[in-house]
Structure 1
């Protein structure tokens, strides 16, 4: 445990299978701030549900300073507002009433809160993201936005709304924590941290998390990019190709030729694949009924969706979900075995 003024102390709550990448990015930003400042400005300690070492998604173990029940009341007793960070991963964490109650208690003490990757779900379940901007990983976004429609979910790298900080994961925690450090210590300190970390650019709040279409798809035709952006923005209620033509200045036939040349398929096929990819993601990451997923992806009937999905993926939607449940169950069994080894 690193000691410092309580107002600059961070409590990292590590969820089962947390992503080491995002966690270490946040921690390294704080460590570098201490190095640059030449004094222990920031301190931290790690907490797990049971006080046992946390195991990351890659199997690395992190020793915990205590368990969740030991933390209750700590923020109120300290007399100084602290900072609690819930570290998750690319998988959606299960509901945890004890954790959610703790987070609400912290919020009432005027402490700041942060969620990294799947940890954002915990803040949302605690009701702390209602009518607040929050950054959600693009893989989680379809499920999250359906579940927590009152939250202002965005597919950005990180967001700050009041005392709530949310981050999509990956490298973004480094940027988000540098913004925290900048508010405390100034731009000169964060610039020196960036130089030490070989970070040539610091992202701003609200910046995109995914590569631009031009880089992601390897295309540079501005008309094609505009059409695909409109397709991606209208998956639940697909836009007719004829309605896209006036905005691009292309005829239906010109659009067909453009897609075949650049994307290797017709615009209708490309649009359908986008909707099926979104449906596949929802099947893997959400518990929404199949009919609701079908509607959310622009299919009028479950039978049409199921038939089209099977042609694309070789499995029915139900079988896809079952296979994912079996995969997660096998992973849980392995983690339980590792937990027994930790106790032993």
Structure 2
């Protein structure tokens, strides 16, 4: 890992901002550096803002940011972190991917927060490395890049590559980096300043449990939903689900009707279609491959069910995806 900075030569991080980047993700990765300087009384870190075209970039909340460094001047940086948000899946810049590979070969720290992992994957710099991404994009990233090891971690740091799930997880990733470079005492003081009393380890969970999200407190119902999640592509029927959970088919029907007002078959179908919708919006996979990945025997069957659920065809969704 690149040596830590000091007063005469601070460790310099370049934040490559993409249109509609998430402000929360950006704040979480840049603020710990500022606080490190203030608490230490030294200029340990410096940062620059970069954009792909060297032009002003707007965050998802509409606030504009002006680059402070040209993209071609990246060699003055010790680390580059991609800060992205919605619409990242639509970026297909050969120039960017070539640039990312060059930065990766330089052995500088190269990282991302939230959907920035998509761009690192497309550039080929994540090969044979563990990586993570926001939970909402995990399945689509894995489908588009089956050779990757996509984890559910808050963040991953492997060799010179850092990936982060986004949001406040960026704070934990940067605190981990500062801990490695400057020591745990400073990292803990920074966490206190951020009203973040517990620095979360990388393996801490990204989101609430399924039971918490759905308000489900029945073990059999919870188990049935988990079984459905684990059989999106290789679908099974409701009788098999009931057998795996250890209840009768009739009990399974009653539980779903009582808690969700639908049959287990309808719930399962909607789950698969939601996954298909995510793949349509966030990957470049062919529709036939998406149909297969969501357990449909044909593109026509997938399209028929999709149109009934969303009111438009999969091809129409592709035209308006975001």
User: How does the TM-score come out when normalised to structure 2?
Assistant: 0.91
| Residues 1:275 and 2:272 are matched in the alignment | yes
Kindly report which structure 2 residues correspond to 1:130-279, keeping only aligned pairs within 5 A, or say none.
130-279=127-276
Counterpart Cα distance in 1 of 2:92 and 2:318: 19
1:145–1:174 distance in 2 versus 1, CA, 3 Å? same
Secondary structure of the corresponding residue to residue 156 of structure 2: strand
| Residues 1:33 and 2:29 are matched in the alignment | no
Shift of 1:177: 0.8
1:306–1:108 distance in 2 versus 1, CA, 3 Å? closer
Counterpart Cα distance in 1 of 2:269 and 2:129: 32
1:234–1:11 distance in 2 versus 1, CA, 3 Å? same
Shift of 1:132: 1.0
Counterpart Cα distance in 1 of 2:259 and 2:128: 41
| Residues 1:107 and 2:81 are matched in the alignment | no
Which stretch of structure 1 is more off in the superposition, 47-56 or 253-262?
47-56
For the Cα contact (< 8 Å) 1:103–1:126, is it kept in 2? yes
Counterpart Cα distance in 2 of 1:64 and 1:255: 56
Task: Tell me the alpha carbon deviations over residues 85-105 of structure 1, each in whole angstroms, 9 at most, x when there is no partner.
Answer: 111113225122333233222
Counterpart Cα distance in 2 of 1:92 and 1:251: 45
Q: Unmatched 5+ residue regions in structure 2?
A: none
Counterpart Cα distance in 1 of 2:167 and 2:211: 21
State the match for 1:21 in structure 2.
24
1:28–1:300 distance in 2 versus 1, CA, 3 Å? same
Secondary structure of the corresponding residue to residue 86 of structure 2: coil
Counterpart Cα distance in 2 of 1:83 and 1:8: 8
State the match for 2:83 in structure 1.
87
For the Cα contact (< 8 Å) 1:158–1:207, is it kept in 2? no
Equivalent of residue 62 in structure 1, options 61, 65, 68: 65
For the Cα contact (< 8 Å) 1:5–1:42, is it kept in 2? no
Shift of 1:295: 1.0
User: How does the TM-score come out when normalised to structure 1?
Assistant: 0.85
1:192–1:99 distance in 2 versus 1, CA, 3 Å? same
Shift of 1:6: 4.7
Shift of 1:138: 2.9
Counterpart Cα distance in 2 of 1:3 and 1:183: 14
| Residues 1:314 and 2:314 are matched in the alignment | no
Counterpart Cα distance in 1 of 2:210 and 2:177: 30
Secondary structure of the corresponding residue to residue 66 of structure 1: coil
Shift of 1:120: 1.3
| Residues 1:12 and 2:15 are matched in the alignment | yes
Number of residue equivalences: 317
Shift of 1:69: 1.8
Counterpart Cα distance in 2 of 1:112 and 1:5: 20
Counterpart Cα distance in 2 of 1:303 and 1:279: 14
1:98–1:308 distance in 2 versus 1, CA, 3 Å? closer
Counterpart Cα distance in 2 of 1:95 and 1:158: 24
For the Cα contact (< 8 Å) 2:303–2:313, is it kept in 1? yes
Shift of 1:242: 2.5
Counterpart Cα distance in 2 of 1:247 and 1:227: 8
1:311–1:185 distance in 2 versus 1, CA, 3 Å? same
Shift of 1:4: 4.8
Shift of 1:259: 1.6
State the match for 2:55 in structure 1.
52
